[in-house]
């Protein structure tokens, strides 16, 4: 797990830099992982947002802070609201009990902190599509 810095945004910037480093050091496994992720995220029966909410719930259940933050960001990028995130992570609480309960604030804090950033990114993307 990456040591988290003082804010979710700083953590994600560090995480994104680390992904670039991984791509340089391990180009083939990195490409394979990216292809796998793209394949999983591709909308078939389940919308991508739902898949990310599932991944977020699993992340909370297994207690992976890096996964929680990155899947919160991804779910929000695919249109999840903080309310949907809260409901998805409540399923993790049901499945994992008290252990998952301790990780819920990470996802809630990430959703709150990223809300405006994601909203602004969507607005910029919509401008480009016009």
Mean pLDDT computed over 52-57: 96
Domain interval for residue 18: 8-121
Give me the DSSP letters along the chain.
-PPP-SSHHHHHHHHHHHHHHHHHHSHHHHHHHHHHHHHHHS-SSS-HHHHHHHHHHHHHHHT-HHHHHHHHHHHHHTT--HHHHHHHHHHHHHHHTHHHHTTHHHHHHHHHHHHHHHHHHHHHHHHHH-
Confirm whether 1 is domain-assigned: no
Mean pLDDT computed over 56-67: 92
Whole-model pTM: value is: 0.75
Indicate which CATH number applies to the domain containing 112: 1.20.1290.10
Confirm whether 130 is domain-assigned: no
pLDDT tens-digit map of 18-35:
999 999 999 999 999 999
Confirm whether 127 is domain-assigned: no
pLDDT tens-digit map of 82-130:
999 999 998 887 877 777 788 888 889 999 999 998 898 888 888 888 7
The percentage of the chain sitting over the pLDDT mark of 90, rounded to a whole number, equals: 60
Confirm whether 94 is domain-assigned: yes
How many other β-carbons are positioned within 10 Å of the β-carbon of residue 104? Answer: 17
State residue 97's pLDDT score: 77
**What is the number of domains present in the chain?**
1
Confirm whether 106 is domain-assigned: yes
Confirm whether 83 is domain-assigned: yes
State residue 22's pLDDT score: 94
Confirm whether 3 is domain-assigned: no
Confirm whether 33 is domain-assigned: yes
59 close to 104: Cβ distance less than 8 angstroms? no
């Amino acid at each position: 797990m990456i040591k988290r810095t003082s804010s979710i945004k700083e953590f994600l910037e560090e995480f994104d830099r680390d992904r670039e480093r991984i791509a340089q050091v391990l180009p083939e496994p990195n490409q394979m992982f990216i292809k796998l992720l793209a394949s999983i995220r591709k909308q078939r029966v389940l919308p991508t947002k739902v898949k990310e909410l599932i991944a977020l719930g699993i992340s909370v259940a297994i207690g992976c802070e890096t996964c929680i933050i990155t899947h919160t960001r991804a779910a929000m990028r695919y249109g999840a609201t903080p309310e949907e995130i809260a409901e998805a992570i409540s399923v993790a609480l049901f499945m994992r009990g008290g252990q998952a309960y301790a990780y819920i604030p990470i996802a809630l804090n990430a959703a709150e902190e990223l809300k405006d950033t994601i909203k602004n990114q969507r607005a910029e993307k919509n401008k480009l599509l016009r």
